[in-house]
Amino acid sequence: ANLVLHQTVERIHVGKKYGDIPRGIFVVRGENVVLLGEIVSEPPRQQVSIEEILEEQRVEQQAKQESEKLKVQALKERGLCVPRADTLDEY
């Protein structure tokens, strides 16, 4: 069965904070539905503005990228090479 979702929101979690971005109506084809359920309880989180959560998400992604760069650099110094995900062949 297809799903029509009305008044949907995208919830972004960063640490113990979250922000909701209103997305409107979504139509999901039935073949793409694996599981549908309701979250009964969540750990306590602080709701913040969309701008604040997007900024925190950007900062978190930047930190992960820097960490990954340092890891790759350390491996290169030891003579090892890690292929990037975007350069791998798809079979």
Q: Quote the Cα angle for 3-9-10, to 5°.
A: 105
H/E segment holding residue 63: helix 50-77
Q: 30, 3 in Cβ contact below 8 A?
A: yes
* Tally of domains within the chain: 1
Residue 90 within a domain = no
Q: Is residue 83 situated within a structural domain?
A: no
Question: Are residues 2 and 28 in contact, defined by beta-carbon separation less than 8 angstroms?
Answer: yes
Which domain, by its residues, includes 17? 3-34+47-78
Ranges of beta strands (E only) in the chain are 3-14, 17-28, 46-47
Q: Tell me, yes or no, whether 11 lies in a domain.
A: yes
Q: pLDDT by residue (tens digit) across 19-50? A: 999 999 999 999 998 888 887 777 788 999 99
34-91 pLDDT, tens per residue? 888 887 777 788 999 999 999 999 999 999 999 989 988 888 888 887 766 665 555 5
Residue 54 inside a domain? The answer is: yes
